[in-house]
Structure 1
């Protein structure tokens, strides 16, 4: 079997199968269930709830999270991810990049699509993590706010930079400095997620939409506007429209944003709050305009010339889904090598061409252009400097804020 050589690219892979808007990370199994937690999901999510269940709110020390590394003799990685969030060949059964990794390294990847919701998955693994037990997984993908919580609790293993040369060198500037994981000591982005305004040109019938204010205030759009059930995304876009920085806002700012959206709800401006099921309404024209996720829009626009998007002058919200190695995972080094593998531009290109979400990897453009030139030129997948400069991340919330803000947003949406 060949030895791992970090600087040698894997053999070129065939172009990944293209998808329609009903599949992939944009599928209902991914984003419509993502939100942090109105109703029952709050019971799973809050750190106060964990403490109430006998699970310590304070994080474990790093020494507690480490485990004996069996990578050298077992050569395996157990990888949990979201449904259809990786490249798939024409048969829909094989993952070319994972197969390339195994050919090169001899490390077998057991790939499981068992994450359908952040809180649901966290509820599944938290008893083992809290008890200092192996979850049976070496690598997991969580949305940034939950990744931050897992790190804060001390339930992720610290990464070894020596095993991540490509990740360190090729991580795009836009993703380099998350406040919740300085220096990416515990995590690396899998894909980025952008929130934009999507619209159906035919349904707009000449109405100009340029901002969130237009969505909330234009009477000609009454009953034909959609907002997202994901609190951070809808509130982040609203705060930007109000001239507030989503990375620095206050509780009063948040309440003002809630009041602004509530006014639109009360007058019937907003048709409904959705997961990614807005895609059907937007395509049919039942929604004239809505807040939307970039990967969805890329796919919708390719299939329907009436669908398009805009990035408001005020900016847009970006987030990440992140790779972490859980505490007590048995194959830490092998998992780190897999993380690093996806920071080789060729592998990152194959992934981005399939998911249509933002690649966090510098140098991916020429490889992506070989697969699909239109994808390589799409700023929703590879943001240019001007687009990246308009991106904003929603700030890290304290335990108290997270609970309070989610409850207020759940009341607003009727969840």
Structure 2
């Protein structure tokens, strides 16, 4: 059972309840293109595997231009207690490296953000950003289409040494040289034990009589179907078309029987808090915030295994400051820095060694499984399999036919 964060200091619980949920801001749907042009930066090359034009990165001006433009999600960087615009760990990076970071939390939705930058990138034009953080399923498509720069891991010793083993060699980035996980999270079960007893398996969630009509599932296909695949004894990280169809059929049965009320994005959060729904598929970051307000609202990693997701830091192909970007990413893969960041954001930390560092200043929080899953929990975690464009279209179409999207 996960350790409750209700013993955290009041000021930290207050920050948790006030911060927006990062994962809860996601929306379903495909990538969209947006019009607009900026000054050209880079040249077109040969077509990538995704059919989009690949670009040749511009000359790296990092040595002469100690600057960096960074787009991220809200609530994903530590803030000073008296000034939300001051980020202590980033200020220390600037003091040490001399690199001034222009940081903007303007990624409120994968598709919305991609709509702002895709047209420029497709034409090899600057998007005025040197780092951007996108969710793993979106990041895979962006990398596939040739819109990012490869990481020079020889310049990232902390990243090479400290990337958590559970994130190494995944199908979405087998060589770990295309994207750097900024934060990770778990997809599992959220339960309001004010209105029902704990739920420990997906089978329970979808069949227990007292839960009928009081359950919701997620509109994010990889998250819901990852849990469904685990529930039929298959792995979200490697499955066949038949496996997917069988898992979908199991979900369809629960929908048709009226057991599942609906599919939602972040809508489930308030309903779960109020007890309007008893249990649901949920994102760990959402539930840890609810738990800070009401310890009886709990996140449970299902016995069949949770799904592990990440939001990935990417260097756009048009960035002229790639070395600066890699230096910043490597800074946050120092376990001591990662521990301080994780103490604020409370998502699953992607940095090995950060738990030991956090234990030095907050031993209770360092034992929270929603931040540092135990070795036993890690064995059951799977990252949803990387899909070809054709497979993704097929699977999304089937899923959306069931959810009514």
Specify if TM > 0.5: yes
Within the alignment, does 1:340 sit opposite 2:333 as a pair? no
Asked if the contact 1:190/1:323 (under 8 Å) is kept, the reply is yes
Cα distance per residue 1:310-360 (max 9 Å; x no partner):
222211100111111000201111111000000011211121111111111
Asked if the contact 2:17/2:292 (under 8 Å) is kept, the reply is no
Partner residue of 1:404 out of 376, 381, 394: 394
Partner residue of 1:351 out of 321, 337, 341: 341
Cα 1:385–1:56, aligned 2, differ >3 Å: closer, same or farther? closer
Gaps of at least 5 residues in structure 2 are 1-9, 35-46
Listed as ranges, the matches of 1:82-97 within 5 Å are: 82-91=73-82, 92-97=84-89
Cα 1:374–1:32, aligned 2, differ >3 Å: closer, same or farther? same
Cα 1:260–1:390, aligned 2, differ >3 Å: closer, same or farther? same
**What secondary structure is seen at the aligned counterpart in 2 of 1:185?**
coil
Q: Alpha-carbon deviation of 1:268?
A: 1.8
Q: Alpha-carbon deviation of 1:218?
A: 1.4
Cα 1:374–1:25, aligned 2, differ >3 Å: closer, same or farther? farther
Cα 1:16–1:181, aligned 2, differ >3 Å: closer, same or farther? farther
Cα 1:19–1:322, aligned 2, differ >3 Å: closer, same or farther? farther
Partner residue of 1:294 out of 254, 260, 284: 284
What residue in structure 1 maps to residue 50 of structure 2? 57
| 2-structure distance, mates of 1:44, 1:391 | 33
Cα 1:210–1:180, aligned 2, differ >3 Å: closer, same or farther? closer
Gaps of at least 5 residues in structure 1 are 1-14, 46-53
Within the alignment, does 1:80 sit opposite 2:75 as a pair? no
| 1-structure distance, mates of 2:100, 2:141 | 29
The TM-score, its normalising length taken from structure 2, stands at: 0.89
Q: Alpha-carbon deviation of 1:164?
A: 0.4
Asked if the contact 2:33/2:119 (under 8 Å) is kept, the reply is no
| 2-structure distance, mates of 1:393, 1:316 | 9
Asked if the contact 2:52/2:122 (under 8 Å) is kept, the reply is no
| 1-structure distance, mates of 2:13, 2:170 | 31
What residue in structure 2 maps to residue 382 of structure 1? 372
Cα 1:17–1:306, aligned 2, differ >3 Å: closer, same or farther? closer
Listed as ranges, the matches of 1:173-192 within 5 Å are: 173-192=165-184
What residue in structure 2 maps to residue 311 of structure 1? 301
Cα distance per residue 1:235-292 (max 9 Å; x no partner):
1101101111112222222222222222222222112222233221112111111111
| 2-structure distance, mates of 1:16, 1:364 | 22
Asked if the contact 1:33/1:116 (under 8 Å) is kept, the reply is yes
Listed as ranges, the matches of 1:124-143 within 5 Å are: 124-143=116-135
Partner residue of 2:355 out of 346, 365, 386: 365
Asked if the contact 2:32/2:115 (under 8 Å) is kept, the reply is no
| 1-structure distance, mates of 2:137, 2:20 | 18
Asked if the contact 1:16/1:87 (under 8 Å) is kept, the reply is no
The TM-score, its normalising length taken from structure 1, stands at: 0.87
Asked if the contact 2:206/2:259 (under 8 Å) is kept, the reply is yes
**What secondary structure is seen at the aligned counterpart in 1 of 2:51?**
coil
Asked if the contact 1:316/1:392 (under 8 Å) is kept, the reply is yes
Within the alignment, does 1:279 sit opposite 2:234 as a pair? no
Asked if the contact 1:199/1:289 (under 8 Å) is kept, the reply is yes
| 2-structure distance, mates of 1:66, 1:23 | 40
Listed as ranges, the matches of 1:202-221 within 5 Å are: 202-204=194-196, 207=197, 209-221=199-211
Asked if the contact 2:183/2:349 (under 8 Å) is kept, the reply is yes
The count of aligned residue pairs is 383
Asked if the contact 1:317/1:392 (under 8 Å) is kept, the reply is yes
| 2-structure distance, mates of 1:179, 1:144 | 11
Asked if the contact 1:65/1:157 (under 8 Å) is kept, the reply is no
Within the alignment, does 1:161 sit opposite 2:153 as a pair? yes
| 2-structure distance, mates of 1:227, 1:166 | 38
Cα 1:115–1:16, aligned 2, differ >3 Å: closer, same or farther? farther
